[in-house]
Amino acid sequence: MALLVRRALRHLSRVSDVLFRHTLLEREITIFDDDVFLTSYPRSGNTWTRFLVGNFVNPSEPVTFLNVERLVPDMYKTADWVLRRRPRPRVLKSHECFDARYRRVIYIVRDPRDVAISNYHWEMKLRSVPEGCPIEEFVPLWMSGKFWRRIGSWADHVNSWLATRQGHDGFIMMRYEDLQANPQRELARVAEFMGMDPDVQRINRAIELSSAANMRKMEETQGRKWVATFHTRSDKPFVRKAASGGWRTVLPEKTVAYMEAHWGAIMKQLGYALSSEVEKDAPVATHAGQ
């Protein structure tokens, strides 16, 4: 018990350091008690979840890259006065680490080995990482929080939420891999969490509209008009392979070992098997996502 307490205090100490680094602008938005926050570390499947939830909640208006900021707003891309005018209850995208004001949170988590790869390609798309940069050089810098200083590292972010909210009312955790494997079940969980009827036909339609193929098709014609990507490299897609387990064929063994040495405990807590426990020929799961 004493060990668990020390670990929790250590995690909270690191989280407090991250919180103090936040800018006021990004944390001081108007928040209502009935808001639902789709929260995750960057490149963990948040955009796919926005499309899924948006298509479920708004069946009469399919989500596109042109209307997603209105239907499921990104709190970083939308002015507070605009957000205050959105119909309630609002569903908002957030990458914030623990915030006690968030009363209802759907927390999306993804295998950090795949998150690292997705961030690697995203930073190239943003031009903050040069083409050809070895991924084994990128990963340690990314793990240090260099690219997301405001919210800290993946482990900081995950621990900030799980140490404070897991098992409490108003919080559910959803693994990206589970969403891929059984989107019907996971979207039904989300619907019930939001107090909505998990209608099967409505869920299936939301899944179809949010497929990787459909999102890629929309990105081809709308990506240059979407606030999140209009300024980025057009030769690098936002919606990539949409796969889980890609780290097995992309990351060098030394890089995987480095990640697991630092984050192995939290990975196992979340149900992610370490490389020594994973068969090398295990299949790579594919669905919609980032």
**At 197, which amino acid appears?**
D
If one counts the domains in the chain, the total is: 1
For the domain that residue 246 is a member of, what is the CATH number?
Answer: 3.40.50.300
Query: What are the φ/ψ torsions at residue 231 (nearest 5 degrees)?
Result: -95, 5
pLDDT at 26: 56
pLDDT one digit per residue (tens) for the chain, 290 residues: 554 445 544 554 444 444 444 444 456 799 999 999 999 999 999 999 999 999 999 999 999 999 999 999 999 989 999 999 999 999 999 999 999 999 999 999 999 999 999 999 989 888 999 988 999 999 999 999 888 888 999 999 999 999 999 999 999 999 999 999 999 999 999 999 999 999 999 999 999 999 999 999 988 999 888 988 888 887 776 777 767 899 999 999 999 999 999 999 999 999 999 998 876 545 445 544 45
pLDDT at 282: 55
pTM: 0.86
pLDDT at 24: 42
pLDDT at 16: 46
d(CA 30, CA 90): 12
Give Cα separations from 230 to 224, 226, 227, 266, 282 (angstroms): 4, 6, 6, 35, 37
What domain range includes position 59?
2-286
Buried b (16+ CB within 10 A) or exposed e, 267-280: beebebebbeeeee
Angle, in degrees to the nearest 10, between helices 112-125 and 253-269: 120
Write the DSSP assignment of 163-204 as a string of letters. HHHTTSTTEEEEEHHHHHH-HHHHHHHHHHHTT----HHHHH
CA 204 from centre of chain: 22
Tokens of 209: 């509209």
Element (H, E) at 37: strand 36-40
Tokens of 149: 């200083």
Query: Is residue 283 a contact partner of residue 245, using CB atoms and an 8 Å limit?
Result: yes
Q: Would you put residue 78 in left (φ > 0), alpha (ψ -120 to 50) or beta?
A: beta
pLDDT at 242: 65
Tokens of 183: 């989107």
